[in-house]
Structure 1
């Protein structure tokens, strides 16, 4: 069992408690496979032939256990569902609860073998606060937004920053490695996984075996543009900010499977303190106006962080990693240079498959 003791998972299975105080778990338990409610630990195969990545499984088609499910010889059975608590009505109490949950999750994060993936935004700055002795790594092309933002933030926090400066050759080499690790060839998944893989690869080469990331913050706290005015955005079905945020949270298992597989293939184990059960539990009751407004996203997270971080970091907007690192732009450039023009259907996906 990864991420929790068998006793903890057994008790959670018997009680149906979806957030039993872990950072996610998966493994073999009493003749069955189990995966936590947010899918923070992926697991594949059958109770007789299983592993933590598809390559661990001998079966021709190793399928992932769905998040929140137990898989036994009779198939998949949902055991855990994400809670749907009442909306918090006391803003100050909700933010205090969130701040306490984050502080608790960050306690003990630091330690030997840990590095921090750092983009200069509030998410990674919070994680870096919990690991004051760990070096910070940023990945991107020389003129990338994330590189400039990370340099400024690292100077503000007086942190050791190591820049993983990318080249086209890095992308061409890493694409087939990411595809092999994740089993995915669609352009969006590969563009997201590439910078994670490359920064993790450098951290592993420097001797680190854990990489702390701010994953989950955008999903839990209203970080996406599509949740701001959901009734007018066809990318979500919900008509409220809280409902749209819930939709985004429910997309986490698929995203985390991709990211965890890429990071492990690069040689590190991810540490995601902002996805700890306590933080999730504090995030779920947040009302619309503490998630996202037309003027601000991740409202509650920023207010919680303001106790620890300077305003310049609390207020900083962050680009998605594939854009902030310029990986998406430069992979598209390589595709067009190779003859995969934008007028072609799925030109970037075709290029990725040609490399894989």
Structure 2
């Protein structure tokens, strides 16, 4: 895990542009840093050591590294025989891919070196085609930039677990977070690279092409026992590949079935786990988390939320998240605090149950889909929500965790597990339109893993509801504007709520309050200059259409 950045231009420019971006990303990778510029590579222990570089070039790559795989030899940028790469993420099958590479001169055990050498197997002068051919073989979460010295190619994993943003003109810049691009973007807009997409930049052209998408298999499992067996095999493999080489890990823990199932699987694999739970002292999540941890023997750390703590942290959370919408900010708060606790305990990896609700129909509005449109429509909506996860959830969680140099691993977003889950009939996920539990096959697997019935079939609540965050922010907003007038504002927000629910989630006061915080931290212009504002407007328009 790390932060990556770089540029390509028509004419040489200073490597200090890349250094400046790396400095803004160093929270993502505090262990080492490096820069490539037109064939020359500089590698250091600390980003600040790069400030004195006196080099110019057309193409530059930079990385601030969080060391998890590959040891000290895995510092980036990494060069193969003809290509150089910076890579953010993990390639879980890198050992298997290494067996396919005839390169006796490999210098490290890093998955990133395996990645660049593997791409070279397909390289015959056309870098975009080489990346396109390599992507179907990659099992992992990744965003990377690779160059042959003439062109630059960006690629992102098909789920969108790892983000990368770019400016839409020349000079062309890219980075893991938008904040790194603000100073260098000039008059260009900041855009995100969508999941599974490849972008190639040559001297005179920017091309975007589809790289690799998760295959959509037919529905072919209608029997519960068959579904459980297939799901268990895929789930066990997904956990096993993500825990390989790790002895100690953290878990983002709400006490809900998703985080409990992940924790139980890690426990069964013999991992030393610490669960991190965040919420109000009288909130449902904290109470359930403590109960589950006690019954299943999980070590747990708890942080109780108060209005004072939220008020203190909101500025840095809004700055880190680069958004000011209520749904996104509320969901970010527990993750941000949990990641901070995880880092305090000297962990580098934290597991999460993200993705299970979209795979197994966990949200209450899926009942409405079944009632109004039937099970086929439900299956299609699940695919739609899986494909929207990157903008609804994954980019937020990445920024919250990486603000504390914590790598998030999500077994439910394993590509084999996704394919397996979507082969299962939606009738095995929701029994009928009035099913209060949903995720039936998922809950049945929890029972197989030794999780008690009352925990496996606990009804779902939204993270921000279970933690008490929503009411606290609304209370802070009322207090902030007490005796004052405020203008209604448009905030930048995402979430499946906007696609499914007919009621307004936020209040004008809460939105104005978060907008004020964003302005004070110079985050507001990100929303108003970014392409995301268009997407947010579409969400809001859809909501207003429903209300009118």
**Corresponding residue SS for 1:185:** coil
Between 89-98 and 36-45, the greater mean CA deviation after superposition? 89-98
1:251 aligns with 2:385: no
Match of 2:191 in 1: 63
| Cα distance, 1:12 vs structure 2 | 7.6
Q: How do residues 211-226 of structure 1 correspond to structure 2 at under 5 angstroms?
A: 211-226=350-365
What is the TM-score when the length of structure 1 is the normalising length? 0.90
Match of 2:458 in 1: 316
**1:32-54, Cα deviation, whole Å (9 max, x unpaired):** 11011110111122695322222
Change (3 A) 1:330 1:203: same
Match of 1:77 in 2: 209
Change (3 A) 1:52 1:162: same
**Corresponding residue SS for 2:194:** coil
Match of 2:50 in 1: none
Change (3 A) 1:237 1:297: closer
CA distance in 2, matches of 1:23, 1:173: 36
Unaligned runs of at least 5 residues, structure 2: 1-86, 92-110, 123-129, 489-506, 519-548
**Number of residue pairs aligned between Structure 1 and Structure 2:** 352
**Corresponding residue SS for 1:14:** helix
RMSD: 2.7
| Cα distance, 1:173 vs structure 2 | 2.2
1:162 aligns with 2:162: no
CA distance in 2, matches of 1:215, 1:23: 15
1:347 aligns with 2:486: no
| Cα distance, 1:239 vs structure 2 | 6.4
**Corresponding residue SS for 2:140:** coil
CA distance in 2, matches of 1:221, 1:81: 20
| Cα distance, 1:128 vs structure 2 | 0.8
The one of 143, 147, 158 aligned to 1:26? 143
Match of 1:328 in 2: 470
**1:173-200, Cα deviation, whole Å (9 max, x unpaired):** 2222122122111111111111111111
Match of 1:184 in 2: 323
CA distance in 2, matches of 1:100, 1:12: 30
Match of 2:235 in 1: 102
Q: How do residues 254-293 of structure 1 correspond to structure 2 at under 5 angstroms?
A: 254=391, 255-293=393-431
Q: Does the CA contact (< 8 Å) of 1:213 and 1:272 recur in 2? A: yes
**Corresponding residue SS for 1:317:** coil
Change (3 A) 1:200 1:51: same
CA distance in 2, matches of 1:126, 1:342: 45
CA distance in 2, matches of 1:287, 1:53: 38
The one of 307, 313, 328 aligned to 2:448? 307
More strand by share: 2
The one of 360, 369, 375 aligned to 1:230? 369
Q: Does the CA contact (< 8 Å) of 2:214 and 2:415 recur in 1? A: no
CA distance in 1, matches of 2:441, 2:132: 31
| Cα distance, 1:324 vs structure 2 | 0.9
Change (3 A) 1:62 1:93: same
Change (3 A) 1:237 1:175: farther
CA distance in 2, matches of 1:12, 1:336: 52
| Cα distance, 1:207 vs structure 2 | 2.1
CA distance in 2, matches of 1:322, 1:297: 20
Q: Does the CA contact (< 8 Å) of 2:251 and 2:276 recur in 1? A: yes
**1:212-259, Cα deviation, whole Å (9 max, x unpaired):** 1111111111111122231656xx999622122122212101120111
Unaligned runs of at least 5 residues, structure 1: none
Relative contact order (C-alpha < 8 Å, sep 6+): which is higher? 1
Q: Does the CA contact (< 8 Å) of 1:109 and 1:130 recur in 2? A: no
1:141 aligns with 2:275: no
CA distance in 2, matches of 1:154, 1:272: 20
Q: Does the CA contact (< 8 Å) of 1:21 and 1:277 recur in 2? A: no
CA distance in 2, matches of 1:329, 1:21: 43
The one of 90, 94, 98 aligned to 1:3? 90
CA distance in 1, matches of 2:259, 2:293: 11
